[in-house]
């Protein structure tokens, strides 16, 4: 029976009952009031029911069209159709109309690795060496099969079992290096420093994609430092252990580094916040279309320390659960946030199993931190032809921290103290970024340096000498290394525009004089930007001896944001004024 017919039948029956003899006037009056209320409510339902029916019809109609269309393609198309590829392309194209976090996973363990941060393999970063046209070992991780097998930076991957890796890209090689934990394979490599071919048997095991805490330690003035890279299962316990250890070493102030932390588990974010705030506080709330999507994460135990001064470092790659952590500590006035505006991911995903061992990660709601704000910065709800864009400041709303400080939604987490890092010179980017230098001169220099130095000093004492840097510069100049200075590109574009608009001839002398000053000069740029390039070289060299822990420790010596965090913690009056602003 149609819903409207049911309502009509119920009304007729209801009217018959209340008009039967024997009903007192008071009851009839009450029943009639109830009837009028029901009429008002039910007047809404037909339109709602119609909208629901219309939506369901559109869904069914389009599914039927897609089904018949594909059957006709499969039956009549001139060539044989690859169903997996074609349907997979269709699924991915459909999901691209939504947000980038709703993702379809064919038969694979990619989703499990994404959620847990773990995979089974050898534990090494590989890269494609443009000069050798081959994948090479870039960085073995500490205490993994790659390190235990003796693999070194620069080792050329020749074959895995009976499969040649010559000329294969990193995705292909990585897929062959990974497998089930406990399985073994034969790896054949070429070591450039000796030019010898080596073969070794390696057994895969479960690997954390990145160390959760690659480094923690004490700095000057009783300041502790913890660098957290991701929010995977158990990471809050690791931070807890590091915190307790640092406190035993005399820590009285803390810098928690969440830069480049892409997030992960909301529960772990709540657990981490709980280290610094009392029990019973709602850290984050999830709200979605379905009631089952709604959830609150609260602090459940007493904190480790609720008064120690804390500075949290963030940047534009701080996202998701790391934004929950930094945003909650900001909303609760428990820490000063320092750095640059965070990424702005306020959407919650749920993993779902699909037929035939496929899976998807589906956005089911948004999350809200203690002040009540959602920090989602990009609007993905758009029409055909529109692009996703940041929510404009004019459409954001003001919220308040516990101490009454203004904060806003729709823009990620804005730091309490903004400190921008030094920008990377173009020449340094082209020298160091994989895939941007066909000569691979910096990578090869580091590999040669490692082969000729069995040991190096501790990261806190290591540096590239003047003679070593001069040797590197000469290698760069002789290698034929080229790069594209942005200023020269901008000048060429400006010249075309000036010629088009007729201004160039009048400004020719001044323009040519400026262009001459901006001409490409490799030797000059190597000298001008030597501090940055030296630090990149030193970082790469140190990681080969002291792994990620050493590289992080070394980088802190030249870290502009870290220096400001330490300065702030050494001026506690300024620190407390930020959290407790004077009332007007």
Catalytic positions are 320, 331, 345
- Calpha distance 520→81 (Å, rounded): 52
Pairwise CA distance, residues 349 & 262, whole Å: 14
Q: Residue with structure tokens 């030797």?
A: 523
Rounded to an integer, what distance in angstroms lies between the CA atom of residue 165 and that of residue 159? 5
Three-state SS annotation for 213-252: CCEEEECCCCEEEEECCCECCCHHHHHHHHHHHHHHCCCC
Give the per-residue SS3 of 352-385.
Answer: EEECCCEEEEEEEEEEECCCCCCCCCEECCCCCC
The beta-strand segments (E) located in 19-146 are: 103-105, 118-121, 124-129, 134-140
- 231 closest CA partner among 293, 302, 318: 318
β-pairing, 336-339 with 417-418?
A: parallel
Q: CB neighbours of 420 closer than 8 A, spacing ≥ 6?
A: 340
What are 139's strand-pairing partners?
125
Q: Which two tokens stand for residue 297?
A: 């994460």
DSSP 385-438: T---EEPPGGG--EEE-TT--EEESSS----SEE-PPPPPPHHHHHHHSTTS-T
CA 437, chain centre distance (Å): 26
For 3, what's the count of Cα atoms within 13 Å in the CB-facing half-sphere? 11
CA distances from 274 to 87, 261, 280, 301, 304 (A): 45, 19, 9, 7, 8
325 within 8 A of 85, measured Cβ to Cβ: no
């Amino acid at each position: 029976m149609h819903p409207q017919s049911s309502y009509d039948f119920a009304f007729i029956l209801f009217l018959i009952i209340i008009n039967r003899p024997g009903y007192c006037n008071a009851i009839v009056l009450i029943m009639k009031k109830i009837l009028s209320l029901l009429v008002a409510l039910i007047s809404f339902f037909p339109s709602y029911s119609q909208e629901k029916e219309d939506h369901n019809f559109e869904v069914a109609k389009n599914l039927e069209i897609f089904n018949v269309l594909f059957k006709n393609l499969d039956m009549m198309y001139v060539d044989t159709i690859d169903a997996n590829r074609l349907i997979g392309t269709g699924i991915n194209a459909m999901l691209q109309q939504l947000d980038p976090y709703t993702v379809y996973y064919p038969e694979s363990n990619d989703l499990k690795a994404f959620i847990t941060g773990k995979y089974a393999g050898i534990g090494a970063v590989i890269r494609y060496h443009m000069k050798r046209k081959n994948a090479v070992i870039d960085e073995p991780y500490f205490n993994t099969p790659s390190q235990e097998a003796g693999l070194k930076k620069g080792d050329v991957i020749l074959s895995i079992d009976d499969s040649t890796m010559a000329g294969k890209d990193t995705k292909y090689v990585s897929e062959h290096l990974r497998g089930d934990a406990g399985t073994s394979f034969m790896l054949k490599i070429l070591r450039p420093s000796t030019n010898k071919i080596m073969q070794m048997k390696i057994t895969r095991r479960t690997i954390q994609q990145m160390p959760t805490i690659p480094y923690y330690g004490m700095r000057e003035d009783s300041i502790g430092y913890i660098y957290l890279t991701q929010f995977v299962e158990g990471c809050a316990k690791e931070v807890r252990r590091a915190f307790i250890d640092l406190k035993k070493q005399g820590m009285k102030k803390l810098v928690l580094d969440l830069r480049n932390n892409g997030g992960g588990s909301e529960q772990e974010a709540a657990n981490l916040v709980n280290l610094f705030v009392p029990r019973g506080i709602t850290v984050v709330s999830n709200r979605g279309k379905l009631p089952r999507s709604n959830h609150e994460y609260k602090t459940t135990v007493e904190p480790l320390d609720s008064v120690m001064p804390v500075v949290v470092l963030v940047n534009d790659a701080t996202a998701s659960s790391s934004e929950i952590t930094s945003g909650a500590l900001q909303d609760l006035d428990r820490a000063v946030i320092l750095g640059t505006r965070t990424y702005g991911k306020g959407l919650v995903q749920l993993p779902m199993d699909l037929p035939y061992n496929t899976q998807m990660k589906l956005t089911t709601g948004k999350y809200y931190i203690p002040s009540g704000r959602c920090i989602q910065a990009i609007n993905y709800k758009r029409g055909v032809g529109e692009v996703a864009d940041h929510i404009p400041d004019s459409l954001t709303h003001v919220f308040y921290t516990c101490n009454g400080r203004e904060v806003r939604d729709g823009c990620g987490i804005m730091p309490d103290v903004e400190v921008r890092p030094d920008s990377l010179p173009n020449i340094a980017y082209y020298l160091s970024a994989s895939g941007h230098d066909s000569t691979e001169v910096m990578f090869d220099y580091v590999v040669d340096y490692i082969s000729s130095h069995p040991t190096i000093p501790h990261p806190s004492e290591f540096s590239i000498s003047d003679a070593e840097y001069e040797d590197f510069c000469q290698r760069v100049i002789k290698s034929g290394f080229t790069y594209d200075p942005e200023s020269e590109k901008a000048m060429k574009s400006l010249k075309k525009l000036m010629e088009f608009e007729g201004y160039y001839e009048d400004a020719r002398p001044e323009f040519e004089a400026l262009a001459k000053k901006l001409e490409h000069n490799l030797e000059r740029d190597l000298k001008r930007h030597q501090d940055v390039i030296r630090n990149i070289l030193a970082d790469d060299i140190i990681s080969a001896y002291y792994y990620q822990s050493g590289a992080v420790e070394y980088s802190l010596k030249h870290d502009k944001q870290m220096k400001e965090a330490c300065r702030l913690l050494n001026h506690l009056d300024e620190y407390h004024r930020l959290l407790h602003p004077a009332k007007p």
